[in-house]
Structure 1
Amino acid sequence: MRDLSGPLKWVCWAWAAAAAAVHLYFGAVGFPEPIQMRGFHLLVFVPILFLLYPARPGKSPARRPSVLDWAWAVAAAAPHAWVMWNWMAVADRMEYVDPFTPMMMVLGITCIVTLLEATRRAVEPGLAWMVAGSLAYMQWGYLVPGIFNARPFTPQEIVEAAWLVPTAGGVYGPLTGIVATTIAVFILFGSFMQGSGTGRLFSNLGAAAAGRYTGGPAKVAVITSGLFGTMSGSSVSNVITTGAMTIPLMTRIGYKPAVAGGIESAASVGGALMPPVMGAAAFVMAEITNIPYGDIVIAAAIGAVLYYFAILAAVHFEAKKQGMTGMPLKDIPAWREVLADVHLVLPIAVLVWMMMERWSGNYAAFCATVAMVVVAMLKKRTRMSLRDIVESLAQAGLTMAPLAVSIAGAGIVVSALTATGMVVAFGGIIKGLADGNLGLLLVLLALTVLVLGLGIPTTPSYIIAAAIGVPQVLELGRSIGVDPLAAHLFVFYFAVIADATPPVAAAAFAAAAIAKASPTITSVHATRFGIAGFTVGFAFIYDPGIMFRGSAFDIILATSNQVVALTLITASYAGFLLAPVGWPVRLLMAATGLVAAFAHVLDDTTRFLIAACVLGGIAGFQWAAARTARLNQGGTG
C-alpha cells in the first residue's frame, strides 16, 4: 500500500471511514435493495484501491497516485454509479432476454477490466488470472475437446453473465451481497476491538497465562494469535500484528527462526477457524448453505479448540526437547494488568448471545460494535476518543476494500463455472478418479483446495471448491449420512490452512520476513504445526461428534480420539513425550496417531483404544524410567 502524504492521505482516510460508517448505519436500520447495496459497496471501495496501491511497486510513485491511477479510479467508479442510478431497471430486467445495449457492454467491460486490475494490485495476481481465465474459457471453451467442451457464448452473454446477472453470480451476485452486509459489519466490529485496546487484553492474557511455562513465548504466540483471529480478517495481518512481538521472543529463547515463523503462521492462520467470528468465509458458508451462522459457530467450536491444542502440544514437546525456558518475569504482565481490560470482553459476549438467539448477523455485529464503544468508556485506559473512532472506521474501510474486489472476482468465476458446466465437468473428473471411494474423493478435493490456495485468498478458494466438490461429497457420502455442514467445513478447513502450506503460503512468507528465515522452510514448519487442520477436516466427515452431533458419549469419544491422535503425531514430530524418544518409538507413535486420525475403516472405539494404549504405554514406561533414575540418584547420593 502507498504511504500517501498531504491532503490526499486525509481524503482517502475520510472516504474509507465514511464508507464504513454507512455500512454500519445500514447494519442497524436495514439495507437498501440488494442491487443498490451491492452497487454502493463496490462504488465506494473499488476506485480507492487505485489510489492506495501502485501498479508496479518500486516503479510507480510510492507516495502519490499517478495520472493513470486517477483515470483507473474514475473508470472503476462509472459502472457501479450507473447501476446505482438505474437500479430499478437492472432489478426488473429479464436476464439474457432483455436487450444488452452497447452502453451496457462498454460499462460491463470497464467493470471487469478495472476489477481485474484492482485485484492484481491489492489482492493476489493469481486471483486476477483465475478470473481472466474463467472468462477466456467462456469465450473459447467450445474449442476444447472432451469433457471440458462448453457451448459457444457470445461476447454479450459473457459480459452480461459476469456483470449484470445478480441472481446467479457475477460482480453483483449473492457473494458480493453477503460481503456488503453482514461481513462488512463484522469487519467493523473487529476494527473497533483493536481500537479499544482489546488487542492489548489478548496479548497480556496470552503472556500471563502461558509466558512463564516451558517455551513460553511460543505458547503466547499461539494463544494471542487465536484470540486475535476473532477480530482479524486476514491471516497475514494476524502474523504481522502478533508476529512482530512473538517471533523475536521465540528466537531469543532458542527457537530457530524458521520454526518460530512456522509456529506464528500456523497459529495466525487458525484465527479464521476460531469462533465467534471465524473470518469472511464462514459468513459466505452461512449464505450458501442457508444454515444459521450461530449453528456453524457451534459446529466448528471443538474443531477450533483441537487445532490450537495440537499447536500448543507441538510447541510444548519442541520446547521440552530443546530444554527451553519461559519468558523473563519482567516481560510477563501481572494479572491485575490483564484484569484492567477485562471489561472489553462484554461486547464479545453480547455478540455471541445475540448470534445464539438467532438475531441477524449484521444487527448482532452492530450492537456489539456500539457496546464496544460504550464499554470502552468505562475506564480511561480504554476510552476511545473521536479520533480513535474515526481511525477504527477508516481501518475497517481499508480492510473491506480488497475483500470487496476479491469476492466480486470470485463471483465472476462461480458464474463462469456454472454457465459453462465446468462445475459438473470438474466434479465429474474428481468423482471419476475417486471411483466411488469417499475417502479418495476427499483426498482429491483437499488437494484441489490446497492448489487453489496457492494463488487466491481463503474466501474465494472456499467458494470455488465448495461449488466444485461439495455436491460430490454429499452424493458419495449419502450412505454414511454425511452432514452438508460437515462437507462445507471440510472444504473450509483446507482453504484456511492453504495459507500456511508450501510452495506458496502467504502467512508463512509474512512470518519468514519477520523471522529473517527461508519462506519455504518456514511454510514446511507451519504445515507441521498446523497438522490438526488436516485431521480435523476429515473428522468433520467421519466423526461428526466433534460437531456436537449425536449423544454425549459420541461427542466425548470423537473429541478424545482426536486429542490422543494429535498428541501422538506432534510428539512423534518432536521426538519427545515425557522424555526424548528414539526413531523406532517415534515411528510407532506416528503410525498409531495416523491410524487413530484417518483409519475410518475401524470404529471410533477401536481407534481410540489402540491410540490410548500406545500413548499410555510409552508415557508410563518413560515415567517409570525417570522415577527409577531419580531413586538411583537418591540412593547414590
Structure 2
Amino acid sequence: MRQLEGWGWWLATLWMAVFAAIHLYFAGFGFPEPITMRGFHLLVFVPPLFLLYPARTSSPQTRPSLPDWVWAAFAAAPHLWVIWNAQAVSDRMEYVDPFGWEMMALGIICVITLLEATRRAVEPGLAWMVAISLLYMQFGHLLPGVLNTRVFTPAEIVESAWLVPTAGGVYGPLTGIVATTIAVFILFGAFMQGSGTGRLFSNFGAMVAGRYSGGPAKVAVVTSGLFGTMSGSSVSNVITTGAMTIPLMQRVGYKPAVAGGIESAASVGGALMPPVMGAAAFVMAEITNIPYSQIISAAAIGAVMYYFAILAAVHFEAKRAGMRPMPLSEMPGWREVFADAHLIIPIGVLVYLMNERWSGNYAAFMSTLSMVAVSLLRARTRMGWRQVLESLASAGHTMAPLAVSIAGSGIVVSALTSTGMVVAFGGIIKDLAGGSLPWLLVLLCLTVLVLGMGIPTTPSYIIAAAIGVPQILELGSRTLGYSTEQLLLPAHLFVFYFAVIADATPPVAAAAFAAAAIAKASPTITSLHASRFGIAGFTVGFAFIYDPAIMARGSLAEILLASATQVGALVAVTAGYAGFLLKRMAMPERLLLVAGGLVGAFGYFLGDVERGAVAVLLPAGIALWQSMRREYSGAV
C-alpha cells in the first residue's frame, strides 16, 4: 500500500471516511434498492484501490501515477452506469433480454479493472483464479471428459460475470452482503480500535495470563483472540498484536519460530470467536439463510476449544522449558484494566441486540454509536473528531480490498455453477472418496487448505462451500441418518473452519508468514508450529459433522460429554507433543498420549462414551502415575 503524502493522504482519508460514514448511515436508516447499493459500494471502493496500491514495486510509492488515475476512471464507469440504470437492471430478465454492445463493453471493463484491483490490493492468486474461471467458460467445450462444458457465447460469459444480481458475478448476492452487513461490522471493529478497546484487551490478557509460566505467550493467545473478534483479518491481527507479543515471548525463552507460530495460530482463531466472527460467517448466514445469531451460538463451544488447545500447548511448552511468568514491572495492574472497562458496554449492546433478533446491520449500527458515546465517559478513551475520522477511514481501507475479493469470488462461483463444474468437481471428490464420509471430509479439508494458499479466507470459504457442501449433505445424510437441514450448518462450519486455519498452515500461510517476518524466523517452520498450536481447528472441524453436541445441540449431558472429550483429547495431544504433563515424559508416554488423543478426537468408529473415556481417562491416568513417581530426566 502506498504511503501517500500531503493532499493525497488527505484526499484518500476523507474519501474513505465519508463513504464509510454513508454506509453506517444506511445501516441505521435503511439501505437503497439492492442494485443501487451494490453499485454505490463498488463505485466508491474499487477505483481508490488503483490510487492506494501501486502496480509494481517500481511504481511511485507516495503518489498515484497518471496510469493509476486512468485505471480508476475506467473502474468507475461500469458502476456509474449501473447506478444510473438501476431500475432497468433490476427489471431485465437475465440471459433473455438483449445484452447490448455498450453493456458488453462496460462488462469487459468491469472484469478487467476488477482483476487488476484484486492483483494489486488482495492476492494475485485470486486474480488468476477469476481469470481461469472465465477462460474455462470460453474454452471448456474443448476439454474432454468431466471437464467438458457447453459452448458459451462471449455475451453470456460477460453477463454471468457482471450483471446477474440474483445468482452470482460482480453484482450477485455476495456483493450485497458485503455492502450491507459486513461493511457495518467492519465499521464497528474500526471504532473499537479507535476507542482503545485493543488496549483493554491487551491489558486484560496480561493480567489474566501474564502471571503464569510462559506468561507472554498466554498473553498473546488471550489478546489475539479478543482482538481478532473485531479485526476481521488474521494478518492485521498478527501485525497489530504480534509486534508486542512476539518479542516478549522471545525474551522469556521461546524460539523465534515457536513464538511466531503461537501468535499466528492465536490470530487466525479470532475469525472463529463470537460475537463478531470473520466476514465469511456473515456470508454463511446469507448462503444458508440461517440467522447469524444461530451461527455464532453453534460456533461458540468450538471457538473456546480452539483457544483452550493453544493455551494448553503453550502451558506445557513453558513448563517443560522452565519459563517464568511476565516480570511484575511489565504487568499493567487491574487499575489500568478497569480504567478502560467501560468500553466493553458496546459489545454487550451488540450481543443483546443480536440475541433479541434485531438485524445484524442495526445491531452493529447501534453498537458503533454506543462505542462513540461510551468512549466519552473517560478522557483516556474519548474519541474526538480526529479519532472518529481515523476510524471511519480505517474502516474504508478495510472495506475496499474486501469489496473486490468478494466480487471476484462471485465471478468464480458464477462460472462454477454455469459450467456445471460444481457438480463435476464434486463428483470427482465423491468418486475419490468411494462412498466413505471420512475420506470425503479429508479430501474436502485438503481442498480448502489448498485454496487457502492463494486466496483469502472468505473467497476460499465461498468457493469450497459451493463445491463441498452438497457432497457432505448427500453422503452425510445417507451415512449418519441426519436430514440435509440438520447437516446444513455443520457442513458449512466444517468448510469455514478449514478456510480460516488455512492462513496458518503450510506451505503458504499468510498469517504465519507475517509472524515469521516479525520473529525473524523461517516462514515454513513458523507455519508448521502454527499448525500444531492450532490443532483444535482440525478436531473441532470434524466434530461439527460427527458430534452435533459440540454445537450445543442435544441434552446437557451430551454437550458436556462432547466438550469433555474434546478437552481430554486436546490435552493429550498437546502434552504428548510438548513432552510434559505434570512432569517431563519419556517417549513411550508421549506416543501413548498422542495416540490416545487422536483416537479421542477422531475415533468416531467408537461410541461417544467409549471415545470420551479414552480421551479423558488416558491423560488422567498418566497424570496420576506421574504424581506417584520421580520426574523423568532424560531427553525429550
Give the TM-score category using the shorter length.
over 0.9
Structure 1 residues 381-460: aligned runs within 5 Å: 381-460=380-459
Give the stretch that moved more between structures: 438-447 or 481-490: 481-490
Structure 1 residues 467-546: aligned runs within 5 Å: 467-479=466-478, 480=480, 481=482, 483-546=487-550
Q: 2:589 aligns with which of 579, 585, 591?
A: 585
SS at match of 2:230: coil
Q: Is it true that 1:620 corresponds to 2:619 in the alignment?
A: no
Alpha-carbon distance in 2 for matches of 1:101, 1:611:
64
Alpha-carbon distance in 2 for matches of 1:161, 1:612:
53
2:367 aligns with 368
2:153 aligns with 154
SS at match of 1:49: helix
2:129 aligns with 130
Structure 1 residues 47-446: aligned runs within 5 Å: 47-57=47-57, 59-446=58-445
The structural deviation recorded for 1:281 is: 0.2
Alpha-carbon distance in 1 for matches of 2:142, 2:621:
62
The structural deviation recorded for 1:583 is: 1.1
Aligned residues of 2:258 and 2:526 also touching (Cα < 8 A): yes
Q: Which amino acid aligns with 1:44?
A: V
Q: Which amino acid aligns with 1:578?
A: L
Normalising by structure 2, report the TM-score.
Answer: 0.98
Q: Which amino acid aligns with 1:332?
A: M
The structural deviation recorded for 1:611 is: 2.3
Alpha-carbon distance in 2 for matches of 1:365, 1:506:
28
The structural deviation recorded for 1:398 is: 0.3
1:634 aligns with none
1:23 aligns with 23
SS at match of 1:602: coil
Q: Is it true that 1:6 corresponds to 2:6 in the alignment?
A: yes
Alpha-carbon distance in 2 for matches of 1:24, 1:70:
27
Alpha-carbon distance in 2 for matches of 1:595, 1:39:
51
Write out per-residue CA displacement over residues 65-93 of structure 1, whole angstroms, 9 at most, x where no aligned residue.
11111110001000001100110111111
Q: Which amino acid aligns with 2:335?
A: R
Q: Which amino acid aligns with 2:516?
A: A
Aligned residues of 2:585 and 2:632 also touching (Cα < 8 A): no
Alpha-carbon distance in 2 for matches of 1:298, 1:614:
30
The structural deviation recorded for 1:628 is: 13
Q: Which amino acid aligns with 2:400?
A: A
1:567 aligns with 571
Q: Which amino acid aligns with 2:188?
A: F
The structural deviation recorded for 1:229 is: 1.1
Alpha-carbon distance in 1 for matches of 2:242, 2:200:
16
Kindly tell me: are residues 621 and 104 of structure 1, through their superposed partners in 2, closer, same or farther at Cα, counting changes over 3 Å? same
Q: Which amino acid aligns with 2:571?
A: T
Alpha-carbon distance in 2 for matches of 1:362, 1:573:
44
Q: Which amino acid aligns with 1:486?
A: P
Alpha-carbon distance in 1 for matches of 2:188, 2:163:
31
Aligned residues of 2:221 and 2:310 also touching (Cα < 8 A): yes
Backbone CA RMSD of aligned residues: 1.0
The structural deviation recorded for 1:608 is: 1.1
Q: Which amino acid aligns with 1:333?
A: P
Normalising by structure 1, report the TM-score.
Answer: 0.98
Q: Which amino acid aligns with 2:364?
A: A
Alpha-carbon distance in 2 for matches of 1:626, 1:184:
58
The structural deviation recorded for 1:623 is: 1.0
Give the stretch that moved more between structures: 475-484 or 143-152: 475-484
The structural deviation recorded for 1:212 is: 1.3
Aligned residues of 2:194 and 2:383 also touching (Cα < 8 A): yes
Alpha-carbon distance in 1 for matches of 2:558, 2:343:
36
The structural deviation recorded for 1:627 is: 9.6
Alpha-carbon distance in 2 for matches of 1:185, 1:477:
36
Alpha-carbon distance in 2 for matches of 1:601, 1:29:
53
Kindly tell me: are residues 340 and 157 of structure 1, through their superposed partners in 2, closer, same or farther at Cα, counting changes over 3 Å? same
The structural deviation recorded for 1:483 is: 2.1
The structural deviation recorded for 1:584 is: 1.0
2:44 aligns with 44
Kindly tell me: are residues 118 and 306 of structure 1, through their superposed partners in 2, closer, same or farther at Cα, counting changes over 3 Å? same
Alpha-carbon distance in 1 for matches of 2:629, 2:6:
69
Alpha-carbon distance in 1 for matches of 2:558, 2:464:
29
Say how many residue pairs are matched.
628
Q: Which amino acid aligns with 1:37?
A: M
SS at match of 1:625: coil
Alpha-carbon distance in 1 for matches of 2:449, 2:55:
28
Aligned residues of 2:584 and 2:632 also touching (Cα < 8 A): no
Q: Which amino acid aligns with 1:21?
A: A
Q: Which amino acid aligns with 1:620?
A: L
Write out per-residue CA displacement over residues 515-562 of structure 1, whole angstroms, 9 at most, x where no aligned residue.
000101000000010000000000001111110101000100001000
Write out per-residue CA displacement over residues 97-151 of structure 1, whole angstroms, 9 at most, x where no aligned residue.
1111111111000000000000000000000000000000000000110011110
Write out per-residue CA displacement over residues 358-392 of structure 1, whole angstroms, 9 at most, x where no aligned residue.
10000000000000001111111111001110110
Q: Is it true that 1:554 corresponds to 2:546 in the alignment?
A: no
Alpha-carbon distance in 1 for matches of 2:221, 2:620:
26
Alpha-carbon distance in 2 for matches of 1:115, 1:233:
22
2:600 aligns with 596
Alpha-carbon distance in 2 for matches of 1:610, 1:214:
28
Give the stretch that moved more between structures: 127-136 or 613-622: 613-622
* Structure 1 gaps, min length 5: 630-637
Write out per-residue CA displacement over residues 465-505 of structure 1, whole angstroms, 9 at most, x where no aligned residue.
00000011011111321521000000000000000000000
Alpha-carbon distance in 1 for matches of 2:631, 2:40:
70
Alpha-carbon distance in 2 for matches of 1:72, 1:603:
60
Aligned residues of 2:583 and 2:632 also touching (Cα < 8 A): no
Alpha-carbon distance in 1 for matches of 2:80, 2:487:
42
Alpha-carbon distance in 2 for matches of 1:617, 1:103:
74
Q: Which amino acid aligns with 2:491?
A: A
Alpha-carbon distance in 2 for matches of 1:628, 1:532:
28
SS at match of 2:571: helix
Alpha-carbon distance in 2 for matches of 1:628, 1:474:
49
The structural deviation recorded for 1:613 is: 2.1
**Paired-residue identity, %:** 74
1:635 aligns with none
Alpha-carbon distance in 1 for matches of 2:358, 2:178:
18
Write out per-residue CA displacement over residues 231-283 of structure 1, whole angstroms, 9 at most, x where no aligned residue.
10100000000000000000000000000000000000000000001110000
SS at match of 2:297: helix
Q: Which amino acid aligns with 1:51?
A: L
Alpha-carbon distance in 2 for matches of 1:193, 1:492:
25
The structural deviation recorded for 1:612 is: 2.0
The structural deviation recorded for 1:572 is: 1.0
Alpha-carbon distance in 2 for matches of 1:144, 1:211:
59
Write out per-residue CA displacement over residues 264-317 of structure 1, whole angstroms, 9 at most, x where no aligned residue.
000000000000011100000000000000000100000000000000000000
Alpha-carbon distance in 1 for matches of 2:234, 2:36:
31
